[in-house]
Chain A
Amino acid sequence: MATGDLALGQEQGAIKARARIINDFSINVATVNGSGSQSANSVLLKSIFGMGIPVSGKNLFPSNIAGLPTWYTIRASKDGYVARTRDAEILVALNAETAKQDIEALPTGGVAIYEESQNLKQYRDDVACYPVPFDKITAAVCSEAKLRKLVRNMVYVGVLAQLLSIDLTVVEGGLRKQFAKKQKVFELNFGAVKAGFEYAQEKLPKQDPFMLEAMDETAGKIIIDGNAAAGMGAVFAGVTVVAWYPITPSTSLIEATTDLLKKFRVTPEGKATFAVVQAEDELAAIGMVLGAGWGGARSMTSTSGPGISLMAEFAGLGYFAEIPGVIFDVQRTGPSTGMPTRTSQADLLSTAFLSHGDTKHVVLLPGSVKECFEFGYAAFDLSERLQTPVFVLTDLDLGMNNWMSEQFDYPDKPLDRGKVLTAEDLQRLGSFARYRDVDGDAIGWRTLPGTRHPKAAYFTRGSGHNDAAGYTEKPHEYVALMERLARKFENARKLVPAPVVVKDGSSKVGFLAYGTTDFALRESRDQLKKENDVDVDYMRIRAYPFAHEIHDFVASHERVYVVEQDRDAQLASLLKLDLPAEQVVKLRSILHYNGLPIDARTITEEFVTKEGL
């Protein structure tokens, strides 16, 4: 809120004599899917970023090609908060169908910008209304009728720029970058921005407290979505085989990966050092990943819930036959088709135990775009080191939305290709047994097909096998194998990304969370400090199997709230399986699962209620 900034808007008579609200509000742009508002929203977001103000953007879109309502919210936050807020203070209502509902959702004191002819003022007398003749303004600057639908969106960028004091030169710079190679398109769009700006300057006296003021909080930072970041991670892991099947919200991860591979991984002779295969379904995609992983390639796929379900049988083969491969799961809501364009964290249990039998998997849980990149490459090292499929679990919110971030650091270690014997090694050793634990780390040595040594070959199977990879149905050989796999998984606790201690002070109460819940939880902790004077400890989990530090964190607190975005408390359930019985009783849950990203207020309210504060 307007912390101490009590400058009165005397110079602008229309501003009510109350505190201005600077760099701390959200803008909600309501449009129709397919109307091309993405460019305008992106320019708006990047302009605020360009003013040095921490900003985040969220696209709330329907599972539809064109015609259904879509909302884009932009949050400017001087304190650097990037989670969704429940209410957006400023509405740009460009979808006639939802306009009434949209304006009714505004908080008192909010702002509505809308097409003049809509007369939305009739619904609210407690918000500032700015009617704009969008069509007239657009027609004046755009002679081609078929382009007007797109250009119209730039008019609201101009109106907002004037009303919120966005620096027009920053908008211009952003547009130039966006339309770098298309001067005419730039001119047309910037013309529309200017027309909106000038209209607002002339006809819309300021009657609300919301303002943007330049800060210095974004210098050196980048804006990227999680899918692009994860794809970048895979490319910097040296991925060579990518097999996938289109599914929202993971498709853009593969698209980003493919673009980068084409950019960086074509030899001077024009040959590809990679293969990208659009498979016939997710069963085939994971089959290709495991075939390639078995063959020694760094392979990956990316999918979402329904794809994960289809990959179940192969995931068990990968675990049991010990084959590397990386699977990105950009979570959306389920069960079944669920809400394909809404976010969720409800795939945790199904990925951790994906497949029948006693199967369990290493799951990495990035909590930022930077970690999408870092875990994106670390997953390949882990997978080849541990000789097992590794899952990277993000979600639609992280994957498909734009996030501000520190720049990504180049990997500081060379690739870890794991334990592979060459023909020379075999010459020296004489022979090898594929699944024998010769080093005491529960990981055998493998050979790759094509290794030119008569003793190199072994028989890979998903059926019972002994340590020499021979078929077996002998009880003791099966038990020995299952116990070694369990030891390997146990050892993985120390190899996966360690949890992050956000705060571990003297509080008796703690928070545990992972992934995108972090954004809201950090903000909620600040709310609790400010409003309730409690400083709750917080550890962010970054992988399964759980590191020992997580056990210690639970042990050192009286109550631990596990905050997550699913109905069934999946993270808490997984923790309960892992923790000693006397620790299990300490766990409480705060859950959010309506398809929208979790917000800080939800956590704060629930915590206050449950703690009786």
Chain B
Amino acid sequence: MATTTPTATPGPKLNHIGLPVIEYRGGKSTLCAGCGHNAISERIIDAMFEMGVEPERMMKMSGIGCSSKSPAYFMSRSHSFNSVHGRMPSVSTGAHLANHQLQMLGVSGDGDTASIGVGQFVHLMRRNLPMIYIIEDNGVYGLTKGQFSATADLGSKLKTGIINDLPAIDTCALAIQLGATFVGRSFSGDKKQLLAMLKAAISHKGTVMLDVISPCVTFNDHEGSTKSYKFMQEFDEPINEVGFVASFEDIAVDYNSGEIYDVEMHDGSSLRLRKLHEDYDPTDKANAVRTLMEAEEKNEVLTGVFYINTEKPTFTDLLNLVDEPLSTLPESMTRPPKEALDRLMSSLQ
């Protein structure tokens, strides 16, 4: 439990595995001041700390871009792999297969996911690989100085005045349709919602896909942008209010069951979704996709948990792997004995 042992001088607050929040911090961010990505890193730190995740049992993955740099800015005690552009999914798949006992959090961007990486993204979602996949979504390429990405909304405007004339890829609708089992959208400026969603994500077994609108203060935070702080403050339309009670927390909450959609997570935690839109059922896949498409037509930015399925087998389940990590299986379990080769040789004579 998150209680400190009595000492003469009160130390820092410890989480339920006895670590202070500083053990979840990373290096100093080199992103722009005010970048949404920094706020997301902060929420990841909070979520990991509050959930009592053992840092050594988490792997941080990323592709290439501003967003993909951010794993350097949280959880230095976790192994991290900043891979190649758009290919975080395949590297993550391999890393998971090497040690499926570990948890994995990946940070990608809208370019990394929806343009160069859309092929691997699609197949990751299909596989329901256990990992948290975060898109830090600002609609532009930052490191190359502000070109549109494939999540930029139709009609949105660059600082240079260029209007985007192609429709946006809705990564949430795509992820739901393809088989991800926990799909939501949040906003880097919404501390409460994002934290609750991240904590629930940590409790989920399967692919969690979170599209987090994260304004780029340098290239896409102006009038005419649909990924700006101002736009989000105005048009953010939560579909549900996300609440989360971890399995180790002993909190009794009174609520009217008609108002709350209560989902029991894999680790025994509860995801409590207070209905804001009438009767939105986050387990109804077709309805989730329809709702997102309708919102797009109305120019609303829906946030919240759109879809959750705690039953679907993960990729690991389908592979029927031994419980131990494949990486450290002893030779006696991986190299067949001499008799096996002898048998093969005699069958080939």
A interface list, Cβ under 8 A from B = 220-224, 232, 235-241, 243, 260, 264-265, 267, 270-275, 277, 279-281, 283-299, 313-314, 317, 407-408, 410-411, 414-415, 447-454, 456-463, 471
* Stretch of B238-246, B275-283, B323-331 that contacts chain A: B323-331
Residues of A within 8 A of B123 (CB): 279-280, 284
A294-B91, A450-B101 known; A287-B120 Cβ under 8 A? yes
Q: Bound state CA distance, A409 and B34, in angstroms?
A: 63
- Further pairs besides A450-B99, A460-B82: 18, Cβ < 8 Å: A240-B329, A241-B326, A267-B333, A271-B322, A274-B326, A288-B93, A291-B91, A292-B94, A294-B81, A295-B95, A296-B327, A297-B94, A297-B97, A297-B98, A408-B345, A410-B341, A450-B79, A457-B80
* Stretch of B55-63, B285-293, B295-303 that contacts chain A: B55-63
Distance between B326 CB and nearest chain A CB, rounded to angstroms: 4
CB atoms of B325 and A471 under 8 A apart: no
Residue of B nearest to A451 (CB): B56
A287-B94, A288-B93, A317-B84 known; A296-B319 Cβ under 8 A? no
CB atoms of B83 and A273 under 8 A apart: no
CB atoms of B326 and A273 under 8 A apart: yes
Residues of A within 8 A of B89 (CB): 284, 287
Selected contact of A314 from candidates B87, B98, B321, B335, CB within 8 Å: B87
CB atoms of B87 and A283 under 8 A apart: yes
Most buried by B among A270, A288, A449: A449
B interface list, Cβ under 8 A from A = 23, 54-57, 59, 71-72, 76-84, 87, 89-99, 101-102, 119-120, 122-123, 319-323, 325-329, 331, 333-336, 338, 340-342, 344-345, 348-349
Q: Bound state CA distance, A283 and B319, in angstroms?
A: 21
Q: Identify the 10 closest CB pairs spanning chains A and B, nearest first.
A: A291-B94, A295-B98, A287-B90, A238-B334, A296-B327, A292-B94, A297-B98, A449-B79, A222-B348, A288-B94
Distance between B127 CB and nearest chain A CB, rounded to angstroms: 9
Selected contact of B333 from candidates A243, A273, A286, CB within 8 Å: A273
CB atoms of A236 and B326 under 8 A apart: no
Residues of A within 8 A of B78 (CB): 449, 457
CB atoms of B82 and A236 under 8 A apart: no
CB atoms of B327 and A459 under 8 A apart: no
A288-B93, A290-B91 known; A220-B349 Cβ under 8 A? yes
Selected contact of B83 from candidates A293, A317, A414, A447, CB within 8 Å: A317
Selected contact of B72 from candidates A237, A277, A298, A459, CB within 8 Å: A459
Most buried by B among A221, A295, A411: A295
Selected contact of A414 from candidates B322, B331, B345, B348, CB within 8 Å: B331
A240-B327, A240-B334 known; A292-B77 Cβ under 8 A? no
Distance between B298 CB and nearest chain A CB, rounded to angstroms: 34
CB atoms of B93 and A287 under 8 A apart: yes
Residue of B nearest to A266 (CB): B320
Residue of B nearest to A454 (CB): B77
Residues of B within 8 A of A293 (CB): 94, 98
Selected contact of B349 from candidates A221, A271, A296, CB within 8 Å: A221
A224-B348, A238-B334, A295-B99 known; A273-B329 Cβ under 8 A? yes
Q: Bound state CA distance, A323 and B78, in angstroms?
A: 18
Distance between A142 CB and nearest chain B CB, rounded to angstroms: 29
20 CB < 8 A contacts A-B = A238-B329, A240-B334, A241-B97, A284-B120, A287-B84, A287-B91, A287-B120, A288-B93, A288-B97, A291-B91, A292-B95, A294-B94, A297-B97, A299-B94, A449-B59, A449-B98, A449-B99, A449-B102, A457-B80, A459-B71
Selected contact of B321 from candidates A275, A280, A407, A453, CB within 8 Å: A275
Distance between A207 CB and nearest chain B CB, rounded to angstroms: 35
CB atoms of A295 and B327 under 8 A apart: yes
CB atoms of A411 and B57 under 8 A apart: no
Selected contact of A297 from candidates B56, B83, B322, B327, CB within 8 Å: B327
CB atoms of B83 and A277 under 8 A apart: no
Residue of A nearest to B79 (CB): A449
A238-B331, A273-B329, A284-B89 known; A449-B95 Cβ under 8 A? yes
Residue of A nearest to B58 (CB): A449
Residues of A within 8 A of B84 (CB): 287, 313-314, 317, 462
Q: Bound state CA distance, A457 and B58, in angstroms?
A: 10
Q: Bound state CA distance, A447 and B89, in angstroms?
A: 22
Residues of A within 8 A of B336 (CB): 235-236, 260, 264-265
Distance between B39 CB and nearest chain A CB, rounded to angstroms: 21
CB atoms of B94 and A243 under 8 A apart: yes
CB atoms of B334 and A265 under 8 A apart: yes
Selected contact of A280 from candidates B119, B326, B329, CB within 8 Å: B119
Residues of B within 8 A of A454 (CB): 23, 55-56, 77
Selected contact of B90 from candidates A283, A408, A414, CB within 8 Å: A283
Residues of A within 8 A of B76 (CB): 457
Distance between A570 CB and nearest chain B CB, rounded to angstroms: 27
Q: Bound state CA distance, A289 and B97, in angstroms?
A: 10
Distance between B122 CB and nearest chain A CB, rounded to angstroms: 8
CB atoms of A297 and B326 under 8 A apart: yes
Distance between A470 CB and nearest chain B CB, rounded to angstroms: 8
Q: Bound state CA distance, A260 and B97, in angstroms?
A: 19
CB atoms of B323 and A288 under 8 A apart: no
Residues of A within 8 A of B80 (CB): 457-460
Residues of B within 8 A of A235 (CB): 336
CB atoms of A271 and B320 under 8 A apart: yes
CB atoms of A298 and B334 under 8 A apart: yes
A241-B98, A265-B334, A296-B98 known; A458-B79 Cβ under 8 A? yes
Q: Bound state CA distance, A290 and B79, in angstroms?
A: 15
CB atoms of B320 and A272 under 8 A apart: yes
Distance between B71 CB and nearest chain A CB, rounded to angstroms: 8
Residues of A within 8 A of B329 (CB): 238, 240, 273
Residue of A nearest to B331 (CB): A415
Residues of A within 8 A of B82 (CB): 459-463
Q: Bound state CA distance, A488 and B245, in angstroms?
A: 52
Q: Bound state CA distance, A407 and B123, in angstroms?
A: 42
